[in-house]
Structure 1
Amino acid sequence: MKVSLVLCFMLFLQFSNAQYDFSSLDSKLEASKKELDGHVVAMIYKDGKVIYQKAIGTDFNAKVQAPIASASKWLTAALVMVYVDEGKISLNDRISKYLPIFTKYSKGYITIKDCLSHLTGIESEPIRNLKEMLNRKKYSNLEEEINDFASEREIVANPGLEFRYSNIGLNIAAKILEVVTKRSFEQIMAEKITRPLQMRNTSFASFNAVNPSGGAQSSAGDYMSFLAMILNKGVYNGKRILSEKAIEQMETVYTTSDMIKYAPKAAEGFQYGFGQWIMTTDENGKATSMTSPGLFGTWPMIDRCRGYACIFFTKGTLGEEKKQLYLSLKDIIDGILPSTCK
């Protein structure tokens, strides 16, 4: 009887996945092994389940933990929106309400909304490589870094007018959460995001200052749980993590091409929401596909027209050539999964 049940389950899995032929994606991944630094985990989630999973590389699988760099921003933006949902903060709140030091240096009128969309107007140095990321080691905690943003960085544009991709805005927003909750960023991230989503291999722990913009370690399986929640309009395993309104606000386009003064090459041509790049929009300007790529090569995506989330998880580096590879992989997926958009 037990054997029969197992066989029925296996047949069901085969039937449920048989409707999609991912052999072309398999071939492309195998052919791109060198570009992917010899190892990658690819996963696709649709209709409540993982419909595709492939791992390339010795001992590299969906549970392997690795740094995800700027893919952390999507997680942090979601955490901020939890507290917006709860009414603890407002997107239109000025940061000086929680961090008075910014008023002292004439930056108090920046809003939380500006922080989530990289529109603070504070001068920033683009993080283009690992060496520049490691320069953050001079900070022993998040407060030191935020005070440096307030006292040492100039305002180069009025808030809301110019986009400069950096760690500044998301880290300011994270510090505001610490002030509001009187708890550490790592604690509230675990309570509100990673624990409810069963992301056991995800952590922002650091020997130096926690980095909400780029300091997370995660795994392909963990990050897919987060993407599933976003794709399902804030619900994971029947539990609501974020409101539908919060998801909609995160996926609203807050930039225009003229506003973007700095974007990494891997994201050039995209627009920006909260913690995520908007890759495509419909005729009404509504986001249809989103991403939040990281410096170490991880590339998560959501496609609302086709109703799927996917991730390419690796431990390499991200360059312009990787962008083109990941977009070509998305093109293959898009050719397999039908679109509901006009």
Structure 2
Amino acid sequence: MTRSLIALLILFSSIVNDQTVQAQSKILTEAAPAAGGFSAARLARLDASMQAWVNQKWVNGSVVLIARHGKVVFYKAHGYNDPATKAPLDKTGIFRVASQTKALTTVAVMMLWEEGKFSLDDPVSKFIPTFANQKVLATFNAKDTTYTTVPAKRPITIRDLLTHTSGLGYPAIGPPAESAIYAKSNMTGGVGVKGQKLSDAMTRLGTLPLFFQPGEQWKYGLNMDVLGYLIEKWSGMNLEDFFQKRICQPLGMKDTYFNVPPEKGSRLVNFFQGDSAGTIKKQASVFGGVLDMNYPLQKHDYFSGGGGMSSTVYDYATFLQMLLNNGEYNGVRLLARNTVRLMTMNQIGDLNPNIGDHALDNKFGFGFLVISENGSKFTPSQAGTYSWGGVFSTSYWVDPKEDMLVLIYRNMWGPYVSNTDKAFKPLVYQAIND
């Protein structure tokens, strides 16, 4: 090998290594669209569309943040925090992000896995004894809520919880048998819970039947709530403290909470319900009055790993940038890059997540929906894009191949909210200009 060829190889290796370091150390910085490979003129289409959604009364308002190559190229709010008074929606508002809590729980679990607290294939019963010798629902009598079971073929594992393949269901949003069995045992979705302890609820959950044999189906369930309790057992601190001390504070996430501090209460955005006539009304409670929408301001100690957190768009973008950086942000490493790889690849084999559009064409990792090569034909997002959202109309995605993260936050339900989702993704991708 000639000296010149060796020199070229050394130079190439140095460039690759330097690029790797840069890729792992990106800190969110607001910049002109061109710095992130976006067209300002094309982003103006998104800007105008967000205002049009308000004018058409699809939503009361929305906040959007787009970052690419670590550059925040779009960070705006449109609309109203109260249409009646025309009080504007602030882009720094604190939103109820609900199931976006699950990503923090997943990161916390994998941090503790890296510390050797457990194996992914450990049975849950190793840590919560009531999960031993579990049964699977066979028949259900709706008249008196009695049921029969068959033995589970194998124990459920930590991996099953991370992938929603355990057989656990979700209170109130599942089929009648599932809802009835959980209601009878006072199982909840974990948000706004009063008068219960997480330890008691998760221990009780282990005595209830599974709804399919472990590992044989994908079903959205209370898996992350169980993992939240396990985080408490493995770490010796409650979930709120773990999130704050091990994730939020190290990353500089200053507005992400289970319990929003009273001094920040005015920043909690209002929640709205729209109807087909275009009427948008502020809601003090939802689910037939069961859930007070001021729950983030009502001091509580039931910390659901599956829901319950509130956050800002910018705080959550920081968290996502950490993942996009392969586990590191601003000199703080929470996860190794191969751990992030595990979390964001297909972990369910030939199963399919039965949720969202084109569900049969995508996959699931640890805590994230993952767009497959086949699924990418339905969307401008590249294969490998991972995402999730919350029940109150917040959502995000991370597209590693584009080195991009995107969030859209609304706190509203209504027949036209989904119109904004359908319009939003094309508006983001059409503005990429490199």
Write the letter of the residue equivalent to 1:47.
Answer: H
**Matching residue of 1:329:** 424
Q: Following superposition of structure 1 onto structure 2, how do residues 16-55 of structure 1 map, counting pairs within 5 Å?
A: 16=35, 20-21=39-40, 22-33=43-54, 34=56, 37-55=59-77
Q: Following superposition of structure 1 onto structure 2, how do residues 189-204 of structure 1 map, counting pairs within 5 Å?
A: 189-204=243-258
Q: SS at 2:402's partner residue? A: coil
**Matching residue of 1:72:** 101
Q: SS at 2:430's partner residue? A: helix
**Matching residue of 1:8:** none
CA, structure 1 residues 199+127, in 2 after alignment: closer, same or farther (shift >3 Å)? Answer: farther
Give the structure with higher Rg (CA): 2
**Matching residue of 2:346:** 253
CA, structure 1 residues 15+294, in 2 after alignment: closer, same or farther (shift >3 Å)? Answer: closer
Task: Give the root-mean-square deviation of aligned CA atoms.
Answer: 3.0
**Pairs aligned (count):** 320
1:273 and 2:365 correspond: yes
1:289 to 385, 389, 392: 385
Asked if structure 2 preserves the Cα contact closer than 8 Å seen for 1:251 and 1:287, the reply is no
Q: Following superposition of structure 1 onto structure 2, how do residues 81-230 of structure 1 map, counting pairs within 5 Å?
A: 81-103=110-132, 105=134, 109-125=155-171, 127=173, 133=189, 137=193, 140-151=196-207, 153-166=208-221, 168-205=222-259, 207=300, 209-230=302-323
Write the letter of the residue equivalent to 2:210.
Answer: I
Q: SS at 2:398's partner residue? A: strand
The Cα shift of 1:240 comes to 1.5
Asked if structure 1 preserves the Cα contact closer than 8 Å seen for 2:103 and 2:368, the reply is yes
Distance of 1:192 and 1:303 partners within structure 2 = 25
Asked if structure 1 preserves the Cα contact closer than 8 Å seen for 2:190 and 2:225, the reply is no
Distance of 2:233 and 2:385 partners within structure 1 = 33
Distance of 1:35 and 1:250 partners within structure 2 = 38
Pick which of 222-231 and 29-38 moved more: 29-38
**Stretches (4+) displaced over 6 A:** 283-286
Distance of 1:87 and 1:330 partners within structure 2 = 39
The Cα shift of 1:287 comes to 4.8
Asked if structure 1 preserves the Cα contact closer than 8 Å seen for 2:165 and 2:217, the reply is yes
1:314 and 2:336 correspond: no
**Matching residue of 2:275:** none
The Cα shift of 1:141 comes to 1.8
Which 5+ residue runs of structure 1 have no aligned equivalent?
1-11
Q: Determine what percentage of the aligned residue pairs are the same residue.
A: 24
Write the letter of the residue equivalent to 1:40.
Answer: S
Q: SS at 2:408's partner residue? A: strand
Which 5+ residue runs of structure 2 have no aligned equivalent?
1-30, 80-86, 136-151, 175-187, 260-298, 377-381
The Cα shift of 1:317 comes to 2.8
Deviation sequence 1:264-311 (CA, Å, 0-9, x none): x57845432211212x22379995212111111111111122211010
**Matching residue of 1:236:** 329
Asked if structure 2 preserves the Cα contact closer than 8 Å seen for 1:67 and 1:315, the reply is yes
The Cα shift of 1:254 comes to 2.7
**Matching residue of 1:61:** 90
Deviation sequence 1:204-262 (CA, Å, 0-9, x none): 235252111011011111111111111111111132121111111111223367554x5
CA, structure 1 residues 238+101, in 2 after alignment: closer, same or farther (shift >3 Å)? Answer: same
Deviation sequence 1:31-63 (CA, Å, 0-9, x none): 112555222110001112211111113443332
Distance of 1:323 and 1:117 partners within structure 2 = 26
Q: SS at 1:192's partner residue? A: helix
Distance of 2:305 and 2:191 partners within structure 1 = 15
Asked if structure 1 preserves the Cα contact closer than 8 Å seen for 2:65 and 2:75, the reply is yes
Asked if structure 1 preserves the Cα contact closer than 8 Å seen for 2:191 and 2:304, the reply is no
Write the letter of the residue equivalent to 1:295.
Answer: V
- Answer 1 or 2: which has greater helix percent: 1
The TM-score with structure 1 as length reference comes to 0.83
CA, structure 1 residues 186+234, in 2 after alignment: closer, same or farther (shift >3 Å)? Answer: same
Distance of 2:408 and 2:306 partners within structure 1 = 19
Distance of 1:309 and 1:53 partners within structure 2 = 12
Asked if structure 2 preserves the Cα contact closer than 8 Å seen for 1:82 and 1:192, the reply is no
CA, structure 1 residues 287+170, in 2 after alignment: closer, same or farther (shift >3 Å)? Answer: farther
